[in-house]
Amino acid sequence: MFSGKKVLITAGPTYEPLDPVRFIGNHSTGKMGFALARCLAEAGAEVSLVSGPTALTLDHALVHITPVMTADEMFAACAKVAPEADLWIFAAAVADYKPKDTATSKIKKSDASFTIELVKNVDIAATLGQQKREDQFAVGFALETDQELENARGKLLKKKLDMVVLNSLRDPGAGFKHDTNKITIVKAASVEEYALKNKDEVAQDILESIKAEWACLQKK
Q: What is the largest CA-CA distance in the chain?
A: 64
Write down the pTM of the prediction: 0.93
Q: Containing domain of residue 33, as a range? A: 6-219
Percent of the chain residues topping a pLDDT of 70: 94
Q: Which of 26, 151, 181, 198 is catalytic?
A: 26
Instruction: Classify residue 175: in a domain, yes or no.
Output: yes
DSSP states of 108-150 as a string?
Answer: PP-SS-----EEEPP-HHHHHHTT--TT-EEEEEEEESSSHHH
Residue 1, in any domain of the structure: no
Number of domains in the chain: 1
Residue 165 has pLDDT above 90, yes or no: yes
Asked, for residue 111, whether it belongs to a domain, the answer is yes
Q: What is the pLDDT of residues 89-144, one digit of tens each?
A: 999 999 999 999 999 999 888 767 888 999 999 999 999 999 999 999 999 999 88
| Reported confidence tier of residue 215, pLDDT bands at 50, 70, 90 | confident
Helix (H) or strand (E) holding 187: strand 183-187
- Cβ pair 148, 186 in contact under 8 A: no
Catalytic residue flag (residue 26): yes
Q: Which CATH number belongs to the domain containing residue 211 in this structure?
A: 3.40.50.10300
On the question of pLDDT at 158 being above 90, the answer is yes
Average of per-residue pLDDT values in the chain = 92
